[in-house]
Chain A
């Protein structure tokens, strides 16, 4: 499932593939990210998220396929496009013996940004008072904030971050989420890789679900999770409800909720589900269309459904 964006593309990949010897890390990924869109690449650890971002950022050589950035640059051969991107991969990559300010001075030198932007970026992420301390004295949360400052330094058109919420405490996660929302609100395109489904749902409007290097879905979250693709069901025999519902042919997920169950259904046919449950001998007393969570959809798409419906919650 791949849906394109109507806006001009800042990132466009066609059949992008990366193979490490006999391991296929990224498999024919075709993706289109429009200006000002907020995207998440969502997948479990080892699914190829970082490899995909690494190829977009020019640090990993694709085995095959094509990358076009901002509609004009060959993303594999032309490094100039990256001057318009603010990004980092995996852990914060900074000189531990230099201060936060000095580290950003290096970034500003590469990106040809005036020094005045450094103080502004540090202020944005709340690091002004520790700007002259060496980075090795920073906590992980402070390092992550420095990453954001570095990424935003040049007012880039596209911000790419790899697991930006990793290692943050709840307060840090809240602050980071606000920064990411601000980036999006300012009209910049945002692309983050994450395995934190709830955070993705809160921060992004678009998602690419990836497993074993293959994109299972790319498009808006709203399109991925239409209202009615899940149903809250109550029955008199609530003990058998979960077990019987799991056997429904179009069932994607089942989870207990209160004295009922939320059942994900692939075809959205609630009437058919009702008939089937009654045929199973259940006395259905409530049926209520629900919007499943991204987590439920993700689990159903990434193969948990192939073995047995997964109870989530």
Chain B
């Protein structure tokens, strides 16, 4: 295990395809927060942008942005190994195919942790900035809901990076993998709406699509039973699951994506 982590770290520590998306993710997320925070500075308490309430927006934005940035990064980090034929060389050098996929999975997990940590660091940075303006700084850190949402974001990122590994592994090239992967998630957005409006079996299945797990875990209502019930009462057709169910679904889909990657790798000539 340590050997596989070290193997991926040697590759990632100098890899632009890891650092550039990570930096872009953090910068874009920061830029998305900037207007709200600026308004908050100008007129405290009137608009949003104040911690800890702003965690909800920050974590929700992060999950949406990760759908493009983290997904692309993991597809590139996995798919380029086929283009460079380094995947083949690893097996020639003595790695089993299972060990190879294990290494890529650990690499994707390291990427996920880095992306997740960048969001948390950014959030606590906002907390520190807010602390200068508040009398009771300890009240600003985060509420239990936000800690649950942080866990939810991590599960979203795990789901996204697992699909990134799958598309990177199955597709012949990183570029093709990115296109297919983003299309896979984007096509589900209108599908969810249409299926939920159609009712019947389609409507019943809507909350169990991969994108539904993402949408549920980024929605604050999924973490609070009262808010969850109220939300469904307002719009019974929406694809919302309680966060525990959505989290389990995300882990299930992650395992499925990695299993698909394994099946592809196991039988293919490298």
Contacts and interface: CB of A to CB of B under 8 A. Distances in A.
Nearest to B98: A79
A98 B93 contact: no
Chain B binding surface SS class: helix
Given A109-B7, A110-B7, A59 B270 contact: yes
Interface string B77-110: 0000000111011111111110100000000000
A174 interface: no
Interface stretch (B9-17, B24-32, B197-205, B245-253): B9-17
A106 B92 contact: no
B6 interface: yes
A60 B14 CA distance: 31
A83 B92 CA distance: 8
A82 B93 CA distance: 6
Contacts of B14: 97-98, 102
Interface residues of A, number: 31
Nearest to A80: B94
A82 B92 contact: yes
B269 interface: yes
A93 B85 contact: yes
A87 B92 CA distance: 7
Contacts of A102: 10, 14
B85 A111 contact: no
B86 A93 contact: yes
Contact of A89 (B7, B88, B95, B97): B88
Contacts of A38: none
Interface of B: 3, 6-7, 10-11, 14-16, 84-86, 88-97, 99, 267, 269-270
29 contacts: A54-B270, A58-B91, A58-B92, A60-B270, A61-B267, A79-B91, A79-B94, A79-B97, A83-B93, A85-B92, A87-B92, A89-B89, A89-B92, A93-B84, A93-B86, A93-B89, A95-B11, A95-B84, A95-B86, A96-B84, A106-B7, A107-B93, A109-B6, A109-B7, A109-B10, A110-B7, A110-B90, A110-B95, A111-B94
